[in-house]
Amino acid sequence: MIASTGSAPGARGVWEVRETAPRTIFQRVLDILKKSSHTVELACRDPSQVEHLASSLQLITECFRCLRNACIECSVNQNSIRNLGTIGVAVDLILLFRELRVEQDSLLTAFRCGLQFLGNIASRNEDSQSVVWMHAFPELFLSCLNHPDRKIVAYSSMILFTSLNSERMKELEENLNIAIDVVDAHQKQPESEWPFLIITDHFLKSPELVKAMYAKMSNQERVALLDLMIARIVSDEPLAKDAAPVFLSHAELVAGAFVDQCKTVLKLTSEQHADDAEALATIRLLDVLCEMTANTDLLGYLQVFPGLLERVIDLLRLIHVSGNDSTNIFSTCASIKAEGDVSNVAEGFKSHLIRLIGNLCYKNKDNQDKILNICGADYIFPRWLQKYLSFCMYSCNRNRNYTKEPNRNLRTEKYS
């Protein structure tokens, strides 16, 4: 909820006025908005009329402030204002503001106050939420979520968060640009809570939406979404029972994407692809898989995911060979990370591959056998994998109650 700025919302007198405001007052305010909206519409059609807008914009701002403040914690006023049809008029005005090609502080203030009013009238009022959604979706969100003004983005995000429910999430699947705009808003304004809450409390609970979004997103947007997925998995609040099946679907998406795309990280060995967005997104997929396999609810599914363990081992081999063959970011002295530049130690990426291998082998006999077959004493195997998988071998032996230490002196005729 967006509180008023002029008076203390807890004051007794303020609450009494809000509870007893007569319907006639709101009708007068609505009449002023309708008349003023005609002036704004003329200015949209005829740029020469813009110079006459100042007084109308000030009047519109005061009307929105009045309505905004009246709606705070007062369902009676919310219902009276809604039943007059004010929400539709407000949305139409806000859409007109987006069409105006003027740079005036008065326009920006009116724009913000209009969104604050919509946020307050929808707060904790399902009937108002339905009407706001009916009028605002999708045009208002498409117009406001990518607006250059940070407050307009925040207020429109608040309206979207307040109005969303399970049925409306299905409508978002048909308007993916809105969902992607929310991710972009979070990326540009990570300190704003509303885009973050929309994604964590709504989007990540819909595997169908996440899958559809991921397919349409740019790689930078994918990194932002995957970051939020990691944040949810590692948060202090454990996954609820009803959330586990949802995140199993996310695990399928992430693992499948990694198996299909993992070799794109090799693009980073070339100078012209040193900041390749697709490769950096693939690195973030690995980060997500590491966190997912650390979660007991998701581990078992990923341990048997077709081709995952084999692809991770193969990628580790290819990176090692590439780092030895030439000087690139996978060489010992180079670096890599997934935030859009190359600055973390490259060995850290390899360690994440090893971490994933270790998790996939944890208490899983079939996967342990795959590793032990690769690293068995009679197997001619490169020294690089002996080094990286030594702890996995030790873990496998311990889990299978072997008494001997892992063989650290394997034959190295190849890739020495």
pLDDT category of residue 16 using cuts at 50, 70 and 90: very low
Q: pLDDT at position 269, please?
A: 74
Closest by Cα among 155, 164, 234, 237 to 199: 164
Tell me the C-alpha distance between 6 and 339, whole Å. Answer: 42
CA–CA separation, 350 vs 340, rounded Å? 18
pLDDT at 339 over 70: no
- Check: CB of residue 200 under 8 Å from CB of residue 231: yes
pLDDT in tens, 169-205: 999 999 999 999 999 999 999 999 999 999 999 999 9
**Reported confidence tier of residue 375, pLDDT bands at 50, 70, 90:** low
Higher per-residue pLDDT: 314 or 110: 110
Whole-number Å distance between alpha carbons of 134 and 161: 15
Q: Where are the alpha helices (H) located in 2-104, listed in sequence order?
A: 12-20, 23-45, 54-70, 75-83, 86-99
Q: Are 312 and 360 contacting, i.e. CB atoms less than 8 angstroms apart?
A: yes
Listed by start position, the domains of the chain span 21-127, 137-204
Comparing 6 with 187, the larger pLDDT belongs to 187
Decide if 75 contacts 125 (C-beta within 8 A): yes
- What is the chain's mean pLDDT, rounded? 83
Among 41-50, 78-87, 198-207, 353-362, whose mean pLDDT is lowest? 41-50
Q: Is the pLDDT of residue 410 over 50?
A: no
144 CA to centre of own chain: 17
Longest dimension (CA), the chain: 91
Residue 108 has pLDDT above 70, yes or no: yes
The pair of structure tokens assigned to 25 is 């007052």
Whether the pLDDT of residue 13 is over 50: the answer is no
DSSP H helical ranges for 262-307: 277-293, 296-303
Output 342 or 371, whichever has higher pLDDT: 371
How many angstroms separate the CA atoms of 176 and 11, rounded?
Answer: 43
Residue type, 250: H
**Amino acid code (one letter) for 20:** T
Buried-state track 119-149, b at ≥16 Cβ within 10 A, e below 16: bbbbbebeebbbbbbebbbeebbbbbbbbee
Residues whose CB falls within 8 Å of the CB of residue 365, separated by 6 or more in sequence, listed in order: 400
Which residue, chain included where needed, has tokens 């998701």?
A: 298
State how far Cα 172 lies from the chain centre.
14
Residue environment code for 43-67, b if the CB has 16+ CB neighbours within 10 A, otherwise e: bbeeeeebeebeebbebbbebbbbb
Task: Please report, as a single letter, which amino acid is at residue 92.
Answer: D
Range scoring the smallest mean pLDDT among 29-33, 63-67, 276-280, 335-339: 335-339
The pLDDT of residue 338 is above 60: no
